[in-house]
Amino acid sequence: MVFLLHLDSSAHRAGESTTRQLTGLFARHWLAGHRDAGYRYRDLAAEPVAPIGEAYCDLGRRVERHGTAFAGEQLIRTAAERREWNWTRELADEVLACDVLLLGAPMYNYSAPAALKAWIDRVSFPGVFHGPGGAPLLAGLRVVVVTACGGAYGPGTNAESRDFLTPYLRSYFVKQGVPAVNIEIVTADLTLAWLVPGREPQQPAAAAAFAAAQDRLIQLAESR
């Protein structure tokens, strides 16, 4: 049975959230084509992941010295380390169990929301996504990232160099063993055209970007 893990991280939990609208669209179309599939939804803004603490670092460093994350369970020494490991293991296991990871990641101050960064830090415990000999356990994972930004940061734009979100997420998942060809990033930009006075001339381009993102996500959801 195939499995979809759906994560939203937008602090704006109202229906007008661009990333939430778009991840919801993908999920509906994907589930319609996989009626027997497993599905897990996490709202990282509504139920924040605990930031990693000192015990996480202590256990992680101990594991790195031994050269394998599979010793993590055996290397726990304190109750605090046990809590950190249990929180981490639950979230990492969800990633390991899924076939498709759907991630809503709006751009905040040129990068990722704190809620998403906390999740990334938590699941990135040394070695959890690699097997014996360093073999990647996420080699078959498909990642669909939905981003939204108030301006335009795409290739060729004046602000392209200030997009630290999409290169970061792409690099992160590649480092975890996801093949680059399995990572799709879909962006709806110019969202502030609907909010900020004086940006009304950008609204046609914003509407076109949103429509293109919808079309691409439907295509991706129905392609496999």
- Judge whether 10 is annotated as a binding position: yes
Domains in the chain, number: 1
Going by C-alpha positions, the residue among 191, 205, 204 that lies closest to residue 21 is: 191
The answer to whether 135 and 129 are in contact (CB under 8 A) is no
Contact residues for 16 (Cβ-Cβ < 8 A; gap 6+)? none
Which domain covers residue 10, as residue numbers? 3-223
Span 74-116, pLDDT tens digits: 899 999 999 999 999 999 999 999 999 999 999 999 999 999 9
Which residue type is seen at 21?
Answer: Q
pLDDT at 67: 74
Identify the segments of the chain with pLDDT beneath 70.
68-71, 224
The answer to whether 105 and 118 are in contact (CB under 8 A) is no
pLDDT at 133: 80
Q: Tokens at residue 6, please?
A: 């759906």
The answer to whether 113 and 145 are in contact (CB under 8 A) is no
Distance CA(93)–CA(138), nearest Å, equals 11
pLDDT at 14: 78
Distance CA(185)–CA(89), nearest Å, equals 26
CATH assignment of the domain containing 74: 3.40.50.360
Span 145-168, pLDDT tens digits: 999 999 999 888 999 999 999 999
